[in-house]
Chains A and B, each alone.
Chain A
Amino acid sequence: MSGVAPVSGQAERIGGELLRVDNVSLSFGGVKALSEISFDIKKGEIRSIIGPNGAGKSSMLNVVNGFYQAQEGSIHYKGVTYAPMRPYIAASNGIARTFQNIALFRGMSTLDNIMTGRVLKMKASLLEQALYMFRGKSEELEHREHVEKVIDFLEIQAIRRTPVGRLPYGLQKRVELGRALAAEPDLLLLDEPMAGMNVEEKEDMSRFIIDVNEQFGTTIALIEHDMSVVMDLSDRVVVLDYGKKLADGTPDEVRGNQDVIDAYLGVTHD
């Protein structure tokens, strides 16, 4: 911040580097899903990843939380270098996510699904759980209280007890966000949280994303196809195409980039 006074609340909201992706390359057999990708995510920002189908967006998030392990490159997170990141390390260091294809526990209720988001914070021994005594009881109550806050925040009180397999698609997406939020993540990875939603549902979801970011200061990496949503929400945008990084900058910079217009936005101009 040397010299430059913060002009708006925007600048104060965003801090230093939280995550840096360094030269990551990932291939599946012959298919190069990502080649030499580098970018960073700053504390408190909403960072979008866009690009046409098959560009490598989901693969990128998968590398960040260790679900895929890149053949080359590394992930720097909170000042530590991981090559590669592992799912358990990611989860226990505050990275939570939602999936492009909903990955809820279908046989469990909304409440239980969101409770699983707090699994890493629960320490009661088997015996304490078996007897529902000491931490076995106190933890359950304490975490339930937090989960109820998440439920209120997402306005899903009415479906608390419903097995999520029976919920409509839009609500399932919301429960999945709830499960990620329950972990109180520092970095939240959202893979197409609004895919397949109608306008109203998209507005709700956008509002939740903004609120999470502003109220809890959660850093968000967002994959989204709806350009108007991306342009409205994001602080900065990375554009991928065929596994390569095409552009990186503010929504306005990206919008004006000729490569991006050609490769991606340009499609609509044809």
Chain B
Amino acid sequence: MFYREAGVFKTTYSDDMALLPIPLDKFFVLSVIAFMVLVVPFIASEYWLESILIPVLILSLAAIGLNILTGYAGQLSLGTGAFMAAGAYLGYKFVTAFPDINIVVGVLVGGLASAMIGAVFGAPSLRIKGFYLAVTTLAAQFFLIWLFTKQPWFVNYSISGVPTAPPREIFGFLVTGAESNETARYLFVLSFVIVFALIARNLTRGRIGRSWMAIRDMDIAAELIGIKPLQTKLSAFAISSFYCGMAGALWAFCYINIVEPSAFDINRSFQILFMIIIGGLGSILGSFLGAAFIFTLPIFLNNAATGLGLEVSTALIRHVEFMIFGAMIIFFLIVEPHGLARMWSIAKEKLRMWPFPY
């Protein structure tokens, strides 16, 4: 975003409150969207679409979900993986039970089912906070994965226990399952991410977003103003889980092409938590930056090692990866809780003034 923001004055509140306050910012976002929709499918290789863009987009959606709960509403959750699993398994149940209903509905139903489960596990948040709440969500993580693994009903009594994603079409193009074309699948995932990222932006800027942040910053004062703590916390849990549930369904249908529990284990929960810490707590942009960074760093390290002609074991690469993540998490938690997104806006601020900082 290398243009300057000086000299942009808003004359009405409506302008000032538009989704993206600076016209150029709006222009920038629209161009990114146009680029992702119109250009990327033609220039990106199959590998890029299938192994990088699709998973990064889906993880961004999950990161937005967790960011709503943890970054905006201040409720720590370690159950992200389980809420994704709920979306994947229940979305799968719905899609296979009603094969004629559009797959978009299937993904949304996965999200809704997860939202309800999220609200149930979020109920204790009225009474317990911080560490203890995190333990409750951890219980959700283990319980739900156990349930989906042990109950064959969830996978339609599939012999292997890991059924393949049902192939479904939109406008005559297959968009789910291993047979589908990666471009169609990419565009399918991308549309979900665009629509729901914009919705998340609207929500977080409006009344409900302010109520989430008020509860996060000082719940007692929020309550005395008239914000209802239970309703506000439960809405954060439900909407957060809705996003995670959609992400889980997309992960199973459009990325790994099977419905399996190990994709949604505790490591996934931590991975997404790290994404929002590094990307920026309480930032939609940060959710994307964090997801892209955490997902691509290992790939980058691998390529760098081979590029340099180094013989390194995968174990070593994993260790390096953990060290980098660990150091960055400590850095961001202590120095810059708003993560990469904040560093981006500081850089922009500097650029706005450049070359005369006064």
Q: Do A and B come from one complex?
A: yes
Residue in B13, B202, B214 whose CB lies within 8 Å of A108:
B214
| A130 in contact with B222 (CB, 8 Å) | no
Q: Residues of A contacting B211 with CB < 8 Å?
A: 116, 119
A51-71, CB under 8 A of B: which get 1 and which 0? Answer: 000000000000001010000
A234 CB, nearest partner CB in chain B, Å: 24
| B218 in contact with A129 (CB, 8 Å) | no
Smallest CB-CB A-B distances: 9 pairs: A91-B226, A103-B221, A105-B217, A120-B226, A129-B206, A132-B202, A122-B207, A130-B199, A144-B13
A92 contacts chain B at the CB level, 8 A cutoff: yes
| A119 in contact with B17 (CB, 8 Å) | no
Q: Residues of B contacting A145 with CB < 8 Å?
A: 13
Kindly list 7 other residue pairs between chains A and B, CB separation below 8 angstroms, not including A116-B214, A119-B227, A183-B225. A104-B217, A105-B213, A105-B214, A105-B218, A108-B213, A140-B206, A144-B13
| A92 in contact with B221 (CB, 8 Å) | no
A179-206, CB under 8 A of B: which get 1 and which 0? Answer: 1000100000000000000000000000
A107 contacts chain B at the CB level, 8 A cutoff: yes
A148 contacts chain B at the CB level, 8 A cutoff: yes
Q: Residues of B contacting A88 with CB < 8 Å?
A: 223, 226, 228
Total chain A interface residues with beta-carbon distance under 8 A: 38
CA distance A108 to B204 in the complex (A): 12
Taking CB atoms and an 8 Å cut-off, the chain B residues in 262-301 that contact chain A are: 282
Identity of the chain B residue whose Cβ is nearest the Cβ of A127 in the assembled complex: B199
Residue in A90, A91, A130, A183 whose CB lies within 8 Å of B203:
A130
Q: Residues of B contacting A67 with CB < 8 Å?
A: 220, 224
B341 CB, nearest partner CB in chain A, Å: 14
19 A-B residue pairings within 8 Å (CB atoms) = A91-B224, A105-B213, A105-B216, A105-B218, A105-B222, A106-B217, A107-B217, A116-B225, A117-B225, A119-B210, A119-B211, A122-B207, A124-B206, A129-B207, A131-B199, A132-B19, A132-B202, A139-B207, A145-B13
Q: Place the interface of chain B in its size category.
A: 20 to 34
CA distance A6 to B315 in the complex (A): 89
A265 CB, nearest partner CB in chain B, Å: 32
A87 contacts chain B at the CB level, 8 A cutoff: yes
| B221 in contact with A91 (CB, 8 Å) | no
- A residues at B contact (CB < 8 Å): 65, 67, 87-88, 90-92, 96-97, 99, 103-108, 112, 115-117, 119-120, 122, 124, 126, 129-132, 136, 139-141, 144-145, 148, 179, 183
| B224 in contact with A140 (CB, 8 Å) | no
CA distance A12 to B205 in the complex (A): 43
B229 CB, nearest partner CB in chain A, Å: 10
| B227 in contact with A148 (CB, 8 Å) | no
CA distance A34 to B307 in the complex (A): 76
Q: Residues of A contacting B208 with CB < 8 Å?
A: 126, 129
- B residues at A contact (CB < 8 Å): 13-14, 16-17, 19, 199, 202-203, 206-208, 210-211, 213-214, 216-218, 220-228, 235, 282
Take A116-B211, A122-B207 as given contacts and tell me if A105 and B202 are in contact as well, using a CB distance cutoff of 8 Å.
Answer: no
Identity of the chain A residue whose Cβ is nearest the Cβ of B18 in the assembled complex: A132
Q: Residues of B contacting A103 with CB < 8 Å?
A: 218, 220-221, 224
Q: Residues of A contacting B216 with CB < 8 Å?
A: 105, 107
Main secondary structure of the interface of A (DSSP, over half): helix
| A124 in contact with B202 (CB, 8 Å) | no
CA distance A129 to B206 in the complex (A): 6
CA distance A110 to B202 in the complex (A): 19
Q: Residues of B contacting A99 with CB < 8 Å?
A: 221
A93 CB, nearest partner CB in chain B, Å: 10
Identity of the chain A residue whose Cβ is nearest the Cβ of B74 in the assembled complex: A107
| A65 in contact with B224 (CB, 8 Å) | yes
| B225 in contact with A112 (CB, 8 Å) | no
| A141 in contact with B13 (CB, 8 Å) | yes
Q: Residues of A contacting B207 with CB < 8 Å?
A: 119, 122, 124, 129, 139-140
B133 CB, nearest partner CB in chain A, Å: 19
A181 CB, nearest partner CB in chain B, Å: 12
A37 CB, nearest partner CB in chain B, Å: 21
Q: Residues of B contacting A115 with CB < 8 Å?
A: 210
Q: Residues of B contacting A129 with CB < 8 Å?
A: 202-203, 206-208
Q: Residues of A contacting B218 with CB < 8 Å?
A: 103-106
CA distance A119 to B16 in the complex (A): 20
CA distance A183 to B227 in the complex (A): 12
Take A104-B218, A116-B225, A119-B225 as given contacts and tell me if A131 and B210 are in contact as well, using a CB distance cutoff of 8 Å.
Answer: no
CA distance A103 to B221 in the complex (A): 6
| B13 in contact with A148 (CB, 8 Å) | yes
Q: Residues of A contacting B19 with CB < 8 Å?
A: 132
B266 CB, nearest partner CB in chain A, Å: 28
| B224 in contact with A97 (CB, 8 Å) | yes
B292 CB, nearest partner CB in chain A, Å: 25
B149 CB, nearest partner CB in chain A, Å: 33
CA distance A140 to B15 in the complex (A): 12
CA distance A66 to B195 in the complex (A): 42
Q: Residues of B contacting A107 with CB < 8 Å?
A: 213, 216-217, 282
| A108 in contact with B217 (CB, 8 Å) | yes
Identity of the chain A residue whose Cβ is nearest the Cβ of B227 in the assembled complex: A119
CA distance A112 to B17 in the complex (A): 12
Take A104-B218, A136-B202, A141-B14 as given contacts and tell me if A179 and B225 are in contact as well, using a CB distance cutoff of 8 Å.
Answer: yes
CA distance A97 to B227 in the complex (A): 14
Identity of the chain A residue whose Cβ is nearest the Cβ of B201 in the assembled complex: A132
| B213 in contact with A112 (CB, 8 Å) | yes
Q: Residues of A contacting B228 with CB < 8 Å?
A: 88
